Structures are given as C-alpha cells and as structure tokens.
Homo-oligomer: A and B are copies of this chain.
Amino acid sequence: MIGQQEADSIERRSGVSLWRQIADRILQAIATGDFAENAALPPEVALAERYGVNRHTVRSAISALVQEGVLRAEQGRGTFVLSRKRLSYPIGARTRFSTGLQGQTSERHIVLLSSSVEPASQRVAEGLGLTRGAEVIRLETRGEADGRPVSRAAGWFDARRFAGIDKAMAETGSITASLARFGIDDYLRQSTVLSARHADAADLADLDLQPGAIVLVTVAVNITPDGQPIQFSESRFPAERVELKLSAL
C-alpha cells in the first residue's frame, strides 16, 4: 500500500470545503478523546501533511474552531484544546459577586483597576436618576476566580452621595462592603438587560481572551429597598468561562 489512507478521509469537490471537513475531523478527534482537553494539537504543517492539504487550508480550519471557542492558538507555542467547564454566575434580586460563586471556586476576589470622576452620560444619568452631566464616580473592576478573570465591570455612583467610595473599594475589595460605609445595608437589582457580542480589544486584554471570543454583557441598575437608584453598571463575562443563572428577582 502506498500512502496511508484514513477510513474517513477528506474529499475534494464534495460540496463541503476542505477546511470545514478538516475542522469537523478535529472536532471529532476531540470528542473521541484523540485530542485531550488542554492538550496541544500537532503543528499546522503536520496536520497539513496528515490531511494532504496546504498549511493555509489547515489554518482556515483552526481559525474557524478558534472562533467557535473550541481551540486556542498561541504564536510560537502551539494550538490547544480548550476546556469546556463553566462557572455559574447567579443573577437575581441580590446579586453579589463573592457569595454567588461560593462553592464553585476555592478562591475569588475583585480587583479595583481604576477609578475616576466624570460627568454622567445619558444612559448613566437615566439609570441613576440624575441630570446628564452630573458628577459620577466610576469604578473599573475585574472579578477573578481561581486566578482567572471571570468578569469585568464598570460601576457608576452619584459623586455627591458616595464621595470616597473609590477609596472604600480599594480597601475592602467589595462593592457591598463599600456601600455599607455609606449606610447602605441592603440593595436590590432593579433592572438587567442582557446581550452578547464578540469581545473587543479591551475585553481581550481585560479578560485574557482570544480574538473571536464572546462576552455576555449585562447593563444593570441597583437600588435601595426603598427604591433609590445607587449604582449603574455594565459587566462583561467571558461566555466560554461563565454562564448566568437567573434566580428570583
């Protein structure tokens, strides 16, 4: 026999593009365990030879699977099979970062990335019941669990009522604890709007994602039990690592 022929070989002019056939073969290999989770795929040139195509054709297949969140390619290192387990992040009347992930991770915390004072944009002003342009404090945070980023959030607060919350946040590492310093013992989620999109450049950097990754985006308003809006927020979650579990609001 001259030349190894695989049982389920790729076919030219079959109506299905070569790169798609190769991508499906790789998916199959992952499903059957031929390529284990977190394991490195053979180099592109090796795959090209195995499937009898040009390296660029293999690259198209890999590129598609990177987009689909199955693989991760790292220049100079290799291409790896991603793991598929997700954290379940609860969203409900009392959405809190740390307590929500309890039991799912051995460690979790919030890092304050930056804070600033700025005039309220239209949507922030609406959410907080302020006039547009009123001063608000903006806190940029990242949530991490077991060393991996699981959320990236911007929170806005009325600068007059919550002057110094940036300092409180830096010291406590907790929104809940920071609000407590201002006499807020309890707060509720008033509204949440949820969407999904591809990660932009900032998301990629903040959440350590690969181009093509998906982020879940929540835009929310928190209020006191008696109905005063206290926080407007936009959060982004890497869809490959997090799912959102809606509980009673």
Nearest Cβ in chain B — how far from A153, in angstroms? 16
Chain A: residues with Cβ within 8 Å of the partner, total of 28
B249 touches A198 (CB 8 A): no
Bound complex: CA of A93 vs CA of B110, how far in Å?
31
Nearest Cβ in chain B — how far from A207, in angstroms? 14
Contact with B along A231-249 (1 / 0, CB 8 A): 0000000010001111111
Bound complex: CA of A68 vs CA of B204, how far in Å?
13
A244 touches B197 (CB 8 A): no
Q: Given the complex, which residues of B lie within 8 Å of A214, measured CB to CB? A: 196-198, 214
B194 touches A243 (CB 8 A): yes
Bound complex: CA of A29 vs CA of B150, how far in Å?
33
Q: Given the complex, which residues of B lie within 8 Å of A216, measured CB to CB? A: 194-196
Contact with B along A178-221 (1 / 0, CB 8 A): 00000000000001111111100000000000011010100000
Bound complex: CA of A247 vs CA of B193, how far in Å?
9
Q: Given the complex, which residues of B lie within 8 Å of A196, measured CB to CB? A: 196, 214, 216, 239
Q: Given the complex, which residues of B lie within 8 Å of A64, measured CB to CB? A: 211
Bound complex: CA of A91 vs CA of B249, how far in Å?
11
Nearest Cβ in chain B — how far from A203, in angstroms? 11
Is A88 positioned at the interface, with any CB of B under 8 Å from its CB?
yes
Is A86 positioned at the interface, with any CB of B under 8 Å from its CB?
yes
B195 touches A244 (CB 8 A): yes
Nearest Cβ in chain B — how far from A128, in angstroms? 19
Main secondary structure of the interface of A (DSSP, over half): strand
CB neighbors of B among A89-143 (8 A): 91-92
B69 touches A239 (CB 8 A): no
B193 touches A239 (CB 8 A): no
Bound complex: CA of A15 vs CA of B69, how far in Å?
26
B243 touches A198 (CB 8 A): no
Q: Quick one: which of B198, B211, B246 contacts A194, CB cutoff 8 A?
A: B246
Is A224 positioned at the interface, with any CB of B under 8 Å from its CB?
no
Bound complex: CA of A64 vs CA of B192, how far in Å?
29
Known: A86-B195, A195-B243, A197-B239. A249 touches B92 (CB 8 A): yes
